[in-house]
């Protein structure tokens, strides 16, 4: 795959679900639209490497968000100016923020598990929102209080400490996560030595639907092909995605690298299974609206 520069294509129509092709099984695992034999073998190697590994144990104990760090006020946005202000990260502080530091907070999962984590200050959380600094329209923040918000994580939905910012003109707050994701474990398997037309890295995870089975991924392809495909290997402890490109042209082509959304539907909800990239051998990075989640930095 040629990758001289990255061109993110906005407004692409989500590709059709991948889970409608052929199925093969091996030891209770299921492969759908399994790609080449080499791709299937690589996916199984990744799943086997993570199963029972120290990296998997670290992952299962940590906090790795799979949802946006920001939840908007109800009814957002009132007009195009407010929407533009949020997209461009243009905020204005007209009030005071709590100065008393909160040293520790807890992330809680429905099953009773919890994790003690440091809590960022209101000022630090606000500065992650206000990165625009342009003369355009701005959302006005008049205050903040520490509470919580519900967020999808690698261990399912969790209650996470969050700063609730009061936004002028809105009855409910804008919520911003107040904790930092856990450090990523060292992967138990190396990435594929070189990128090929048959297998490449995913650009990221876009969304997980409420049913827990429908996932939208961001896949890469070039300007002279038939688009990306994503094959799936489901096991008891992981879901491994193998990204490839369909119909690559051998003729002259520009060097643009495009990003397209591809939707896959699993046989059962993700739950606490790891979402892994066959090419990198790592968890699939979650993409936030403005940047990659700090989970993956």
pLDDT tens digits, one per residue of 201-249:
898 999 899 899 999 999 876 666 667 889 999 999 999 999 987 766 6
Residues 6+ apart with CB under 8 A from 132: 85, 88, 89, 90, 91, 138
Of 128, 143, 177, the one marking the end of a domain is 177
Report residue 288's pLDDT band, with 50, 70 and 90 as the boundaries.
low
Distance, CA of 105 to CA of 119 (rounded, Å): 6
Answer yes or no: do 94 and 166 share one domain: yes
User: Into how many domains does the chain fold?
Assistant: 2
Of 177, 194, 217, the one marking the end of a domain is 177
DSSP 8-class letter at 95: S
In the chain, what percentage of residues exceed pLDDT 90?
A: 59
Report residue 12's pLDDT band, with 50, 70 and 90 as the boundaries.
very low
Answer yes or no: do 207 and 272 share one domain: yes
Contact 202, 243 (CB under 8 A): yes
What average pLDDT does range 27-43 have in this prediction?
A: 69
Instruction: Give the β-pairing of 214-222 and 274-277.
Output: unpaired
Q: By C-alpha distance, which of 230, 220, 226 is closest to 278?
A: 230
- What is the chain's mean pLDDT, rounded? 83
Answer yes or no: do 77 and 159 share one domain: yes
Of 159, 177, 195, the one marking the end of a domain is 177
Answer yes or no: do 276 and 195 share one domain: yes
pLDDT tens-digit map of 111-151: 899 999 999 999 999 999 999 888 899 999 999 999 999 99
Answer yes or no: do 9 and 75 share one domain: no
Distance, CA of 89 to CA of 233 (rounded, Å): 38
Answer yes or no: do 79 and 142 share one domain: yes
Q: What domain range includes position 118? A: 70-177
Q: At 12, phi and psi to the nearest 5?
A: -70, 145
Report residue 289's pLDDT band, with 50, 70 and 90 as the boundaries.
low
Residue 185 has pLDDT above 60, yes or no: yes
């Amino acid at each position: 795959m040629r990758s001289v520069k990255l061109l993110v294509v906005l407004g692409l129509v989500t590709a059709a679900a991948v889970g409608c092709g052929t199925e093969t099984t091996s030891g209770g695992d299921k492969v759908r639209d399994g790609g080449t034999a080499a791709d299937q073998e690589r996916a199984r190697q990744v799943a086997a490497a993570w199963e029972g590994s120290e990296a998997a144990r670290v992952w299962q104990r940590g906090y790795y968000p799979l949802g946006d760090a920001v939840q908007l006020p109800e009814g957002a946005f009132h007009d195009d100016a407010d929407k533009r202000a949020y997209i461009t990260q243009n905020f204005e502080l007209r009030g005071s923020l709590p100065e008393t530091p909160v040293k520790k907070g807890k992330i809680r999962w429905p099953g009773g598990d919890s994790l003690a984590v440091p809590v960022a200050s209101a000022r630090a959380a606000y500065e992650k929102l206000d990165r625009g600094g342009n003369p355009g329209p701005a959302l006005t923040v008049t205050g903040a209080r520490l509470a919580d918000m519900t967020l999808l994580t690698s261990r399912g939905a969790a209650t996470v400490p969050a700063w609730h910012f009061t936004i002028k003109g809105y009855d409910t707050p804008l919520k911003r996560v107040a904790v930092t994701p856990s450090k990523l474990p060292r992967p138990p398997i190396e990435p594929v030595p070189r990128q090929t037309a048959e297998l490449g890295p995913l650009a990221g995870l876009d969304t997980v639907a409420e049913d827990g089975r429908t996932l939208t991924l961001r896949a890469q392809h070039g300007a002279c092909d038939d688009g990306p495909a994503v094959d799936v290997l489901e096991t008891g402890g992981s879901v491994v995605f193998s990204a490839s490109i369909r119909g690559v042209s051998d003729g002259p082509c520009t060097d643009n690298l495009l990003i397209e959304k591809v939707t896959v539907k699993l046989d059962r909800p993700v739950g606490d299974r790891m979402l892994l990239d066959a090419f990198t051998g790592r968890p699939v990075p979650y993409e936030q609206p403005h940047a990659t989640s700090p989970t993956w930095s």
